[in-house]
Amino acid sequence: MLQTFLPLFFMTFGICLFIVLMQFLWKYIDDMVGKGIDIAVLAEMFMYAALSLVPMALPLAVLLASLMTFGNLGERLELLAMKSAGISLIHIMRPLIITLVLVSIGTFFYQNNAMPVVQVKLYTLLYSMRQKSPELEIPEGSFYKDIPGLNVYVQRKDTKTGLLSDLMIYDYSEGFNNARVIVADSGRLKTSADKLFLVLSLYNGESFENLRNQDNGRQDQTAVPYRRESFETKEILIEFDANFKRTDDSFLQNQYMGKNLQDLQASIDSMGTKLDSIKTLNARSIYEGSYLRTVRAFGEQEVQPALRDTAPGKRELVVAVRPMPDLAGTLRLDFDSAFVAMSKSSQATTLKRAKNSLENMKTDYFFRAASVGDEAYKVRRHLTEWHKKFTVAYACLMFFFIGAPLGAIIRKGGLGVPVVISVILFIFYYIIDNMGFKMARDGVWSAWEGMWLSSVVLTPMGAFLTYKAAKDSVIMNADTYLNALKNLLGKREGRKVEKKEVIIYAPDYDAMLPVLQRLEGDCGMYVRGHRRWVNYLNYWRAGGKDNQAEQLAGRVEAVVEELGNSDQILLLNKLMDFPIVGGYVNPLGERLTPQAARVVGWCLPLGLPLYLIAVYQRKLLRHDISQAQKTAKELIDMIYSLHLLRNKNTDNK
């Protein structure tokens, strides 16, 4: 088993790693192309990328390798031979189970010890690549904006000599209001030897420069002075660092991606304590800044505003404060009456002050919520990374218990069907895993719920497939579902009766004639006495079964078995006209007792669809029994003509 599995595992792991590495390349291709990065740096980046993608490629490789291994064994009948020798499927899988347990343990230690270092190196390198200035590749007929402070337009350029023709340069390094415009017939652009400057050599051109900043003493003038310069040769030195500078990776080592399990747990504990203290301080600040401050201002008093006439046509608010020893801490303020008693200007001032107070309070609360949200996000990211150390290792073992029994059931090897099934299952797993990760990251679910969602969903599938494969189930056999659909629609397989080369017991035609006559009569009585529609309650009262039809089906099979020993070709051909009567019972009828069937029938939403299916099948059943009646009558005539007449002629002789 190991000799069969391990080569396939290493092959599929290489293929899966290459595929996910290409996906990584397509994602970050813009950060690498056009920047003149050395091959050694790119090779280092691809090495770190490949190492960081091992946890993604490994579960897919396990799934595909296990599918191919057991599919090949089933297709070559080796699995059947081992089972025939008395070896169970679990015993066959035992060496691979032990191997995959060791692989899962190794995956955990790789996630815990190697991945933090690899991720820090990879993302530091990607950050350094993003910070590097792009290579100068000025296009024709459009403005080039990648030189800081300049917009360069080139009408034509000679790729062999590097000569640029019809240049137009906008220099806005000192601001757009003080831009300088340069036009030239031709020019060349090159990099200094240390790659820290660009040297722009211009030929036969003019420059226009705004002198607004150089004329500060004349601010009242309407005309803005400028300077125009004509030149035959002009060189401009531009700061442009084209070197690749590797960023120090220390700033990423304190992030969640650069920590092992122990460091993550320590960070989670410290950040959780910090988050709790921030929440406590915010709650105390809100409490002391609103409710407690008001209580302390008024103390144990009752405040009652009142309106009094202080002058003809004028009224003012008079607030009466009375101690309340029996209602400590209770405030009674009639704010509406106090607001109505104010003058219009006082009301406007009060509203403006209240609005400003609310806006300040809102801004303060938003700031507090943002600080709490940032700390909570950091805690969640550390928790998701903590659980990820275990989920990837568990996924390897889980996918083996999905792929191995599935390969044993479908019995298809190679890179055809197993690849299709593996891709579909892995996409399903990846979608669920990504959904759970985002739920945990955004705080919708707790971290363990989101990170273990895919495992919880797919583990029952693995247990179910392993159980079915151990029991030699045919759940993945397409013929099983096609036959069930044909039975439901009434499309039966034709009966096949062939002449036997050796007949030990010839049929007793004299004894078969009354059997056929009774069968014909009973089939006719059944067709006349059973309508297509049956009463709903009577149907379920019988338990969803038709015992009379089952008896007729058994008698038809007995006739076919007895007359199948005949040596008459015409009679054997006529036996094939007997339909295969049976299978027209309620899908639950064979599994439920009559009492349980009545309960199902009384549950109208559940029993009604089954009843309608039974009515449709009843129509097919009446047709089959009618065909059996007709065939029995024709067999009686054939026996009379082929057998009795022959006996009569023998007696006459």
For 386-442, the pLDDT digits (tens) are 988 899 899 989 989 888 888 888 877 777 777 888 888 888 888 898 898 888 888
Q: Is 50 exceeded by the pLDDT of residue 77? A: yes
601 — pLDDT class (breaks 50, 70, 90): low
646 — pLDDT class (breaks 50, 70, 90): low
Residue 349 maps to a domain: no
The domain tally of the chain equals 3
Mean pLDDT of all residues in 303-332: 47
DSSP letter assigned to residue 38: -
- Summary mean pLDDT of the chain: 76
Q: Say which residue, 479 or 230, is predicted with more confidence.
A: 230
The mean-pLDDT minimum among 133-147, 223-237, 382-396, 555-569 falls in 133-147
Q: Is 50 exceeded by the pLDDT of residue 298? A: no
Residue 14 maps to a domain: yes
The mean-pLDDT minimum among 15-29, 298-312, 577-591 falls in 298-312
Q: C-alpha distances in angstroms, 431 versus 52, 185, 402, 434, 435?
A: 20, 58, 17, 5, 6
Pair (528, 558) in one structural domain: yes
Pair (98, 169) in one structural domain: no
Q: State residue 597's pLDDT score.
A: 64
Mean pLDDT of all residues in 37-61: 85
Distance CA 467, CA 463 (A): 6
Q: Output b/e per residue, 597-613; b: 16+ Cβ within 10 A.
A: bbebbeeeeebeebbee
Q: State residue 645's pLDDT score.
A: 58
Last residue of a domain, one of 239, 266, 300: 239
Pair (14, 102) in one structural domain: yes
Residue 305 maps to a domain: no
208 SS3 class: strand
Last residue of a domain, one of 443, 470, 497: 470
Pair (603, 509) in one structural domain: yes
Tokens 């579909």 belong to 424
Q: State residue 472's pLDDT score.
A: 72
| H or E segment to which residue 387 belongs | helix 344-410
The mean-pLDDT minimum among 99-103, 143-147, 372-376, 391-395 falls in 143-147
Distance CA 597, CA 610 (A): 11
Residue 312 maps to a domain: no
Pair (525, 435) in one structural domain: no
Pair (636, 503) in one structural domain: yes
Distance CA 137, CA 66 (A): 50
The per-residue DSSP string of 417-465 comes to HHHHHHHHHHHHHHHHHHHHHHHHHTTSS-HHHHHTHHHHHHHHHHHHH
Distance CA 564, CA 497 (A): 7
Last residue of a domain, one of 239, 255, 275: 239
Residue 212 maps to a domain: yes
Q: State residue 251's pLDDT score.
A: 65
Pair (489, 542) in one structural domain: yes
Q: Which of the listed ranges 171-180, 311-320, 441-450 does the model predict with the highest average pLDDT?
A: 441-450
Tokens of 441: 């990251």
Q: Is 60 exceeded by the pLDDT of residue 333? A: no
Q: Which of the listed ranges 79-83, 290-294, 317-321, 639-643 does the model predict with the highest average pLDDT?
A: 79-83
Which residues form the domain of 519? 485-652
CA atoms within 13 A on the CB side of 362: 6
Distance CA 480, CA 468 (A): 15
Residue 353 maps to a domain: no
Pair (173, 212) in one structural domain: yes
Pair (466, 490) in one structural domain: no
Mean pLDDT of all residues in 142-146: 76
Pair (507, 430) in one structural domain: no
Q: Which of the listed ranges 213-217, 569-573, 603-607 does the model predict with the highest average pLDDT?
A: 569-573
Residue 585 maps to a domain: yes
What ranges in 452-591 are assigned the alpha helix state H? 453-470, 478-489, 509-529, 536-541, 547-563, 569-575
Pair (79, 209) in one structural domain: no
Q: Which of the listed ranges 164-173, 412-421, 447-456, 467-476 does the model predict with the highest average pLDDT?
A: 447-456
Q: Is 60 exceeded by the pLDDT of residue 304? A: no
474 — pLDDT class (breaks 50, 70, 90): low
Pair (104, 47) in one structural domain: yes
Contacts of 326 (CB under 8 A, 6+ apart): none
The pair phi, psi for residue 66, each rounded to 5°, is -65, -40
Residue 394 maps to a domain: yes
